[in-house]
């Protein structure tokens, strides 16, 4: 019976390692997505605590199920209760799902009004030193590092676009990001001129 308990606790340990690696992969900043300054994101403390608690709960569940199977193998075979392995797998699946939802919600940088600029600024120098090209997927932001790639989402139609921050602005109160013409076109906000959006980390 000690062998079985060791077997299940070993699986829990492997599941814990998988969970931690997945959290680090989801929350870390990807070097390939950045053309300028690269920032590494550390998983939020509540997210790490959630993962630890989930793994501890899985270990306790595996230990209880192993003890129950050792005391009564016959009762286990006729009971509708899940086997220890299935219980651990379900716990890992639920923990991963919850953690991914938390990571996705934590990717939101800010939400607010977006506007766009185009031909009037075509060819002008941006804050990054590049020439502004209205047909490229770029944007201006007040504080994000130049070269940062973010995803902008239009909550009204669900459309998204990835843009590279290469300029500073907008300088009109109440606006959080200035999109290039092509980016605004991809989000469907060219006609309205401005639109509430969400800015997410990539």
* Predicted pLDDT at 35: 37
CA 62 to chain centre: 30
* Predicted pLDDT at 95: 58
User: Which is it for strands 160-167 and 149-153: parallel, antiparallel or unpaired?
Assistant: antiparallel
Least confidently predicted of 14-28, 30-44, 162-176? 30-44
Mean pLDDT across the chain: 74
Instruction: Count other C-beta atoms under 10 Å from residue 87's C-beta.
Output: 17
pLDDT digits (tens, 9 = 90+) for 89-113: 676 666 555 545 544 555 888 999 9
CATH no., domain 110-201: 2.40.40.10
Q: Which residue has the higher pLDDT, 172 or 54?
A: 172
CA 69 – CA 62 distance, rounded (Å): 11
Per-residue pLDDT, averaged over 17-23, amounts to: 62
pLDDT digits (tens, 9 = 90+) for 146-199: 999 999 999 999 999 999 999 999 999 999 999 999 999 999 999 999 999 999
| 169: region left, alpha or beta (phi > 0 left; psi from -120 to 50 alpha) | left
Q: Which regions of the chain carry the CATH code 2.40.40.10?
A: 110-201
Least confidently predicted of 42-51, 88-97, 122-131? 42-51
CA 1 – CA 135 distance, rounded (Å): 67
CA 191 – CA 187 distance, rounded (Å): 11
Predicted TM-score (pTM) of the model is 0.50
């Amino acid at each position: 019976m000690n062998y079985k308990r060791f077997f299940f606790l070993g699986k829990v340990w492997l599941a814990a390692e998988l969970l931690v690696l997945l959290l680090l992969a989801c929350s870390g900043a990807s070097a390939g997505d950045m053309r300028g300054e690269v920032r590494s994101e550390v998983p939020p403390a509540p997210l790490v605590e959630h993962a630890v608690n989930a793994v501890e709960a899985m270990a306790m569940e595996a230990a209880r199920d192993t003890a129950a199977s050792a005391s009564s193998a016959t009762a286990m075979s006729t009971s509708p209760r899940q086997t220890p392995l299935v219980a651990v797998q379900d716990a890992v699946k639920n923990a991963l799902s919850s953690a991914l939802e938390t990571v996705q919600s934590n990717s939101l940088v800010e939400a607010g009004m977006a506007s766009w600029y185009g031909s009037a600024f075509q060819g002008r120098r941006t804050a990054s030193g590049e020439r502004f090209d209205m047909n490229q997927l770029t944007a201006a932001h007040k504080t994000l590092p130049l070269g940062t790639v973010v995803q902008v989402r239009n909550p009204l139609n669900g459309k998204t676009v990835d843009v590279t921050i290469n300029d500073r602005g907008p300088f009109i109160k109440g606006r959080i990001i200035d999109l290039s013409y092509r980016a605004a076109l991809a989000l469907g906000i060219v006609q309205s001129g401005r639109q509430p959006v969400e800015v997410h980390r990539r």
